[in-house]
Amino acid sequence: MSAVAVPVSRVERALAGWLIEQRPRVQRLPVAVLSREQTAAELQRLQARKAMEAAYEAELILALADDSPDDDDPAPGTPGARVRSWKPDPELPGVSEFFPAELAMVLNCGRLSASQRAHRAWTYRTHLPAAWAAMRAGQLDEYRAMTLVDVLQHTDPAIARAVESRLLPEAADLTVGRLRKRALQLLLELDAEAAERRREQARRRSDVRVYPSPQEGMATIAADLPADVAAACHALVDELARMLKADGDDRPIGELRTAVFADLLQRPWDDTRPPVTAHLQIIATLASLAGRSDEPGEVNGLPITAAQLRELVQQLDALGVRTSEGGSVTLALADEDGTLRATSTFDQLRRLARRGCVEHPAADCTCAVLDRPEATDRYEPSAGQHRFVRTRDRACRFPTCGQRVGWADADHVVPHAHGGATDCGNLCCLCRSHHRLKTFARGWRFSMSADGVLTVTTPSGITRTTRPPGMRPPPPAPDPPPAEPDDDPPPF
């Protein structure tokens, strides 16, 4: 992937810099004075502008990618070399493997979304140049262009252009569904193996995901499956739910399906399998736990209502708590602004309560008996530090990422080899991908304050800051006092 270098004068670059610094302006018409026909025409013009902006975005993404060659990436067989993932992101030939992370920072989106947008732009350049030109001219909307990318991205560029040349004259007049169908028909006519490659790509990217639901206290679990397997699974769940309904269960059929689905996965009746232990991280205010507040807490990163939280805590006997055998519960103690001060297990908390202050065992002193774990001279963080950092961060702290804390490393922000302390003020959770980026990618800068506020700057100069999830932002600065009036009155 390469671009032709165009000589640029200092004046042109300075002018470009000045234009970039200007606030973006949206060209708007006074909607209230438009006639019905003018409003419809302006909507059509807006769609054309959006297509032109999408084409411009793709051009900018490719320019940034061209400035991010893979020359400095760890070579195969060297320390830090990339291990091929079971679920690889789309790659751009000759572009750094760390480019999607930088693009995610620039666009303020997830890495996978950034990677897909970069791959789409690359597909416009190599496979669909005529469709890209039609977008630049406002003649083809982005949604239809994305449909062509989705169908043709895994085929040979020459075949993709052949399909493009036959479809483009009528693309804007076809529904998106018809356009997809026609593109697939032409692709199978010209490249019968393309469908199998698409299925293989989809299979390798399949996964099971969980999302917070718009309804309070609910979440959605989803799995990518072959269409026939998904249909069979749904039919089974539906049939079992209807059997419950026929037996007199008066719950709505949708609720019965969800109950059947959960039981099929968890199999509460099957005692032949080894038990799965629970390791929960409960984060809530004391007022919420005691029932004096409806402020929601969190359980393993999914928001729940205060009522559900209290119910869960009662199930764990958490105000005189018993932890289930083989499981664990972590308590988080925070300041009023949400800054984490200490973490503890219930057993540790009971022991500390019984022991009291070792310096004043018989006195009611104000000495701290529970605080942030002390720094260690070792490279590997202590168990207490691991618990504190994971409780504070709850996920990968890289901006735009949110990988679960269970899949993250406790990374030294200032590397240990360069004098960085193994201290909670210098440790943060990074998923393996962003840990590798911080260690091996050139031009990135990471810094963190003692209370865990992480700042990351990309090689292109984009800076973003992440705060620990429980920490509230500082209050806005007060307005400056009004200027003192001049002693001398103005002349009249």
Query: Is residue 42 in a domain?
Result: yes
Q: Give residues with Cβ within 8 angstroms of 40, minimum separation 6.
A: none
For residues 242 and 199, state if they share a domain.
no
For residues 158 and 231, state if they share a domain.
no
CA–CA distance, 90 with 456 (Å, rounded to integer): 24
For residues 170 and 304, state if they share a domain.
no
Query: Is residue 119 in a domain?
Result: yes
Q: Which residue type occupies 224?
A: D
Give CA torsion, residues 311, 317, 322, 323, to 10 deg.
10
For residues 249 and 187, state if they share a domain.
no
Query: Is residue 366 in a domain?
Result: no
CA–CA distance, 205 with 162 (Å, rounded to integer): 28
Query: Is residue 146 in a domain?
Result: yes
pLDDT digits (tens), the chain, 492 positions: 444 556 778 887 888 788 778 877 778 889 999 999 999 999 999 999 999 999 999 999 999 999 999 998 988 888 878 776 544 556 789 999 999 999 999 999 998 899 999 999 999 999 999 999 999 999 999 999 999 999 999 889 999 999 999 999 999 999 999 999 999 999 988 887 877 777 787 788 788 888 777 777 788 999 999 888 999 999 999 999 999 999 999 999 999 999 999 999 888 777 777 665 556 666 766 666 666 677 666 666 566 666 655 565 555 554 454 555 656 677 787 777 778 888 877 777 767 767 767 777 666 666 666 788 999 999 999 988 998 999 899 889 999 988 877 778 899 999 999 999 999 999 999 998 899 999 999 999 999 999 899 999 999 999 999 999 878 887 777 777 776 655 555 554
For residues 188 and 335, state if they share a domain.
no
CA–CA distance, 284 with 470 (Å, rounded to integer): 10
Output the pLDDT for position 487: 54
* Domain limit, last residue, from 205, 234, 249: 205
pLDDT digits (tens, 9 = 90+) for 465-474: 999 987 888 7
- What is the residue-wise DSSP string for 18-35? HHHHSPP------GGG--
**Cα–Cα separations (whole angstroms), residue 431 to 317, 396, 411:** 33, 5, 9
pLDDT digits (tens, 9 = 90+) for 383-435: 889 989 998 998 899 999 888 777 788 999 999 999 999 999 999 999 988 99
Output the pLDDT for position 87: 47
The tally of domains found in the chain comes to 4
Query: Is residue 104 in a domain?
Result: yes
Output the pLDDT for position 141: 96
Output the pLDDT for position 1: 46
For residues 314 and 238, state if they share a domain.
no
Cβ atoms < 10 Å from Cβ of 187: 21
Tell me if 361 sits within 8 A of 314, measured CB to CB: no
Both tokens assigned to 202? 């989809």
For residues 138 and 200, state if they share a domain.
yes
For residues 153 and 70, state if they share a domain.
yes
For residues 451 and 306, state if they share a domain.
no
Domain range spanning residue 79?
38-205
279 SS3 class = strand
Tell me if 482 sits within 8 A of 350, measured CB to CB: no
* Domain limit, last residue, from 355, 372, 392: 355
Output the pLDDT for position 315: 55
CA–CA distance, 194 with 16 (Å, rounded to integer): 42
For residues 334 and 409, state if they share a domain.
no
Query: Is residue 276 in a domain?
Result: no
For residues 300 and 444, state if they share a domain.
no
For residues 148 and 97, state if they share a domain.
yes
Q: Is pTM beyond 0.85 here?
A: no
Query: Is residue 471 in a domain?
Result: no
